[in-house]
Structure 1
Amino acid sequence: MEEFETRTRRQTTLVGLFAREGVSVLYEAMEEDEFMDFLDFLVARAGQVNEELAEAGIEDFHDPLVTLEAILSDGGSEWQVGTRDGFAALEYRVPAGVRDAANAAMSLPGDAGRLLSEAWHATYGRSPQPDLGYRKAIEAVEAVVLPLVMKNDSTATLGKAMGQMRTQGDWKLPFIKEHAQNPSQNVVLGMMQALWSGHSDRHPGTASYVPSTQAAAEAAVTLAVTLVNLFSNGGIARRP
């Protein structure tokens, strides 16, 4: 409680009240937004303790995050407990299929998984930052695409990579049959172009600058999850 108040620079302390009355009175004393921030803080601290116990080789311990997630799920809460890149936090609940695909992509070794974890947390965390989430989503895709397409270009971007892929003309999905007017390369490049072109806050201070919305960030992260998974497992590759 003291650590939370220090970090948030709370003007008046609730430590005495908490010591006398317990956690049940904190909700009314804090009001909803601050109490949710406090819960998010506790989730993060519990995640750190879990990591410390695991590193110490202690396996038989009660994980409070498992209990909390069960309570949130059973109660139909819009919040869930998520652990991204070793960091536990509250995040908005998403459909199980979307979450499973995201977890698969975020568990990949290297920069792509780490950056996608950061994009997910910035987008779905307790204090969403859509601009950061969108930017990290693009960086996650770049982390898996650039080594495949432009590994010798230290200045490469997703935009340059798309130009190279269009020139090469053979980046496809593993389908046996292709639509004559809309082959799978068009689909792949279409997803990449939508992600790249939709980044409206890439150049602050210019006439084209528009802050990313929450909806845009969520769409960007969903596209990034799909692209990272497909590029990393060979689903998107150069094919004759």
Structure 2
Amino acid sequence: MLAAPAAAADLPAGGTPDWYTGAQQQQIDDSWAVAVDGSVSVTSNSSAFGSVTVTAAPVGPGTQSGPRVRVEALAGTYSYPRQGVGATRVTGYQEEGAVLGGYEWVWQDAALAGFIGFNVRNNDLSAPDPSNPVVGTGVGLKVAANFYATPTDRTMVSAYGSYSTKFNAYYSRFRVGYMVADGAYIGPEALFLGDDFFRQYRIGAHLTGIAFGPVRVSLGAGYVNDRVQKSGYYTSVEARATF
């Protein structure tokens, strides 16, 4: 299948990850040097993934423009019917890690970041499947970019995308939101992800920026359509803490 290292959860208090590749979308926040993002995503199409992303601002606080260093880790499992072999199902187990460096430009109402580095991905199957080329362990070049902005006092827009040369894995997410409470936004989201074996899109809604003390949480849910598994539903939970 495909999964994503914590991608940015678009939390106004500094951004967060999603579940395929890890992006940080930031706005105004208290000074921080390290941000930790966690993400869990489950679909009714028999997949479940979790990820952790750590982003460091080695020069100055993360609320100012400057270089960034990011480390990502992801693991998950999925299953699908093996084509042409009766009702046999194949279960996949995926682990991935990445190290990226980049730069983030921070303005009063927006932030834009770009990253480049490498990822190591391992994908094992419970049974041989000649139709699935996404098997084994390898290293790929990875690039990622994210954008976050608050065009007005009560609206937000965010976008994130990443691509790895390993299995041609890609992930993108778009969100817009309207503030319903201090720092919390609700609105639609769209995701597109895939690799050399599958393609998937998700259309749903998000509630982003719920504060629980120093932690900001984002919730998402909606419809998913997969080339292999067809229609289903997804849910996601993301959280961020800064230090």
TM-score scaled by length of structure 1? 0.20
Which protein, 1 or 2, shows the higher relative CO under an 8 Å CA cutoff with sep ≥ 6?
2
Higher helix share: 1
Higher strand share: 2
Larger Rg: 1
TM-score scaled by length of structure 2? 0.20
